[in-house]
Amino acid sequence: MTNHIAALARIPDDQMADLRRKDTAKGLLHLALYICLIALTGTAIALGVPFWWALLPVHGILLTFLFTLEHECTHQTPFASPTLSDRVGHACGLVLIIPFTWFRYFHLAHHRHTNDPERDPELAHGAKPKTTLGLALHLTGLRYWRAIMSQFVTNMRGQARADYLPASALPRITREARIMGVIYTAAALSLFWTPILLWLWVVPMILGQPFLRLYLLAEHHRLPYVANMLENTRTTYTNRVIRFLAWNMPYHAEHHAAPQVPFHQLPKLNALLQADLKATADGYVDFTAEELRQLR
């Protein structure tokens, strides 16, 4: 069985260097199109166009899937400039209530210990569903909101502690969370004058979360704890709309095998590694159907 190290070693050095090349123009174009879609749905909701309420989940999906961009920014791959990646990551974290400094350490630990039941913080942050009722509860996002809000309050109190958090990062983690707390307080106070943030942020974020939960579940669920990233991570073949929303992260085994490869190069990497992939799904409907069969 070929592991990800051997599979990547077959790729010539010059080709691998090209795959790892970041492109700020492509990143900014993708981001600009994404922001335009958010602005379009947000403006329609704010203006109260006919059936504006039907746009709430669409707007929510666009907001919650900023998670995939924040995730990419932890690797500093969406743009050639690390500073730009960090600033975009902080902005996404503010929208999502996921402090970027803390999340970078959290996510990189997930890469180091993928599917390790003892050390992968994604598993410690929330148990994966084992029953159909558990799946339904998982998709509501209630467990996620409880976990992330608890972590946010812990960060604000300066009490963030984990094996993956270096002591040198704790002051920055605390400061970032407190700054975000001030901004959220101002946002909450604005509701006394206008409900606009309720309809443009709070309600859409709640409605969009189930779609993100399902998307994320497909990445590693029911896969073994092994060192081979082509075996412990699932690539989901899906349509262009979802690949756009998720910054090509449905090519997730490829991303775990070579996290230095930016989002726009992952389709090329998939073509090179496709024969070695051990876990794939033909879309999220297919994955969900298989998940339900396994749970039953």
What is residue 36's predicted lDDT score, i.e. its pLDDT? 98
Average pLDDT (104-128) is 87
pLDDT band at 196 (very low <50, low <70, confident <90, very high): very high
| Through-space distance between the first and last CA atoms of the chain, rounded to whole angstroms | 30
The Cα–Cα gap between 185 and 46 comes to 22
pLDDT band at 257 (very low <50, low <70, confident <90, very high): very high
Is the distance from CB of 280 to CB of 218 less than 8 angstroms?
Answer: no
Is the distance from CB of 151 to CB of 96 less than 8 angstroms?
Answer: no
Higher pLDDT, 130 or 245: 245
pLDDT at 125 over 90: no
pLDDT single digits (tens) 175-189: 999 999 999 999 999
What is residue 203's predicted lDDT score, i.e. its pLDDT? 97
pLDDT at 229 over 70: yes
Average pLDDT (143-163) is 94
Q: What is the mean pLDDT of the chain?
A: 95
What is residue 118's predicted lDDT score, i.e. its pLDDT? 86
pLDDT at 63 over 70: yes
The Cα–Cα gap between 34 and 68 comes to 12
